[in-house]
Amino acid sequence: MVTKQYTVSDGKLVLVLSEAEKGGCVVTSFLGPELITEAETASAAFEKNRDALRSLRRSRVKLWKQLSRPTG
């Protein structure tokens, strides 16, 4: 089965929308392979991806702080 993919942009983010098997679309981003969400519309895709990006940034900052602590 061939899945249709669409590259869309809102001027700030570029997303790839792939048809999901059960309707809607799977949303991925070039900003990181871990940014995967699902949405019914393109506008929902941008909103969900922004939320996922904020969460990813928070977790990376937290991890960076943990790794930057002096050991001893």
**pLDDT tens for each residue of 17-44:** 999 888 899 999 988 888 899 999 989 9
Would you state the structure tokens that stand for residue 17, as one six-digit string? 């929308």
Domain boundaries along the sequence of the chain = 5-68
> In whole angstroms, what is the distance from residue 49 CA to residue 37 CA?
7
Per-residue confidence band for 63, with pLDDT thresholds at 50, 70 and 90? confident
Q: Is the pLDDT of residue 16 over 90?
A: yes
- Number of helices (H) and strands (E), helices first, in the chain? 1, 4
- Do 32 and 56 meet the contact criterion of CB atoms below 8 Å apart? yes
Given this model, what pLDDT does residue 35 score? 87
Q: What is the pTM of this model?
A: 0.74
Largest CA distance in the chain: 55
